[in-house]
Amino acid sequence: MDTVKIGLCGLGTVGTGVVKVLKDHKARIRHMLGCNVEIVKVLVNNVDKPRDVVIDMNWLTADPDELVNDEEIEVIVEVMGGIEGTNQLLERALKNKKHIVTANKDLMALYGQKLLRLAKENHCDILYDASIAGGIPIVRTLADGLASDHIEKIMGIVNGTTNYIMTKMTQEGLAFDDVLKEAQRLGFAEADPSADVDGLDAARKMVLLANLAFKMELNLDDVTVKGIRQVNQEDINFAKSLGYIIKLIGIASINDYKAEVTVEPILLPKDHPLSLVNNEFNAVFVHGEAVGETMFYGPGAGSLPTATAVVSDLMEVIRNIRLGISGHSYISPQFERKLKVDAEKFSRHFIRLAVEDQAGAFQEITNVFSDHDVSFAKILQLPAEKKGRAEIVMITHQISQEQLLKSLQALKDLTVVERLISHYRVDGEE
């Protein structure tokens, strides 16, 4: 085998990067693999559209059948996005014994386990390292590098758009709406930013990481998701005064073979490694029973960083083809899907209340928390702008989600509590 022929689905930002990497690193790739890698077909929506990369126009097609049914094509590289139509295309490709490399986290979060099983049935590989955190090789690290360890927790900044927004809000004191507009102008945020700022993009990535790390088949619906739209400057400033930075963090943890996956704005200590990850960069913090704490940092998106991850997966697929070991990368989940209930979810919490500034009000509030065995590490009481009102900001010690919810519900029944202004999880501390 002197040449492996591939079909490329998509010629946008990442697809263009894949073409460039394969062209610019051609000699190195041949040296590493012992064969050439040649694109023979590229699936696009419009074959006449001007391109940012010089390619052979004979490669272009708008017909998926020209890739799926071409017997010479051994690997399909999918970087076009989409879910339902793309899933159908990849299913057909696998049934035709074609290996898959994809950067599509939306697809893998919803149909990944099904596609992986189908790949194994057809003795094919499907690799998806580029679908999470762009150029950071976190999928391969969990699947191979840390395979012998028991991973207990993963914390990550896995969405560059929200990290850019939170960085600007924190460092420059800007409002959410203003930073979002700037992010859209710079191309960090989509015209419809909902998937990013509401946490769905990060949730899709975290469920993929949790499945790999915990050897369990979790679903997207198992992830608790809360975005950053409600974070304001007052919350950020209070967090700073208490020694914390607010970031949108994905957390996956497992205890006694029960998992929890959440994506939400979280207060981290100012000196935590993830607190120092700014702008559009991503980072994933992994805690293993044997290895301890490790962190992986780098660009979470972009043409060439993501394309590098795609081509690395492609090279792995080709090595497996040449060694005759394709179709063995997927390992069935080892453990039954089990989720923690509220009484088993433990963390610290930041709570900010608007209250009546009157004698005995603070005592009533502390009595509520005392009734639910909630104690505090830090408490601030400040006068509010409105006369007769005050604000109370608290950081709890570690409590269960059940204790928290019961306490917050009881607070609503107190006449001295005007409203719960905000509430965030606190993490990153022993």
**Spatial CB neighbours of 312, under 8 Å, sequence gap ≥ 6:** 129, 137, 140
- Of 19-33, 182-196, 278-292, 338-352, the poorest mean pLDDT is in 182-196
Q: What is the share, in percent, of the chain residues with pLDDT greater than 70? A: 99
> Mean pLDDT of all residues in the chain?
93
Q: What is the pLDDT of residues 92-115, one digit of tens each?
A: 999 999 999 999 999 999 999 999
**Spatial CB neighbours of 123, under 8 Å, sequence gap ≥ 6:** 97, 326, 327
Can you say how many angstroms the Cα of residue 91 is from the centroid of all Cα atoms in its chain? Answer: 24
pLDDT at 31: 96
pTM for the full predicted model: 0.91
Is residue 215 among the annotated active site residues? no
Q: What fold is seen in the domain 138-299?
A: Dihydrodipicolinate Reductase; domain 2 (3.30.360)
Answer whether residue 374 shows pLDDT above 80. yes
Task: Spell 232-253 as b/e; 16+ CB within 10 A means b.
Answer: eeebbebbeebebbbbbbbbbb
CB 290 within 8 A of CB 150: yes
Answer whether residue 325 shows pLDDT above 70. yes
Answer whether residue 77 shows pLDDT above 90. yes
Query: Half-sphere exposure (CA, 13 Å, Cβ side) for 224?
Result: 17
Neighbours of 112 (CB within 10 A): 22
pLDDT at 224: 97
pLDDT at 54: 82
In angstroms, the CA 245 to CA 52 distance is: 39
Q: What is the pLDDT of residues 391-410, one digit of tens each?
A: 999 999 999 999 999 999 99
Q: What is the pLDDT of residues 135-150, one digit of tens each?
A: 788 998 998 889 899 9
- For helices 160-172 and 233-241, what crossing angle results, to 10°? 70
Mean pLDDT computed over 333-357: 94
Name the residue type at position 316: E
Q: Label residue 1 by pLDDT band (50, 70, 90).
A: low
Whether 138-299 and 343-426 share one fold: the answer is no
In angstroms, the CA 172 to CA 155 distance is: 25
In angstroms, the CA 317 to CA 325 distance is: 10
Reduce the DSSP state of residue 318 to 3 states and report it. helix
Q: Label residue 281 by pLDDT band (50, 70, 90).
A: very high
pLDDT at 104: 95
Answer whether residue 430 shows pLDDT above 80. no
What pairing do the DSSP bridges indicate for beta strands 281-288 and 292-299?
antiparallel
DSSP code at position 216: B
Catalytic residue among 105, 168, 205, 345: 205
Mean pLDDT computed over 331-342: 93
Q: What fold is seen in the domain 3-132+303-323?
A: Rossmann fold (3.40.50)
Of the candidate CATH numbers 3.40.50.720, 3.90.1150.10, 3.30.200.20, 3.30.70.260, the domain formed by 343-426 belongs to: 3.30.70.260
Tell me the CA distances in angstroms from 408 to 49, 327, 354, 402, one per residue in order: 56, 51, 13, 10
Q: What is the pLDDT of residues 377-388, one digit of tens each?
A: 999 888 766 677
Domain boundaries, the chain: 3-132+303-323, 138-299, 343-426
Q: What is the pLDDT of residues 208-247, one digit of tens each?
A: 999 999 999 999 999 999 999 999 999 999 999 999 999 9
Tell me the CA distances in angstroms from 121 to 72, 112, 127, 185, 244, one per residue in order: 21, 14, 15, 45, 49
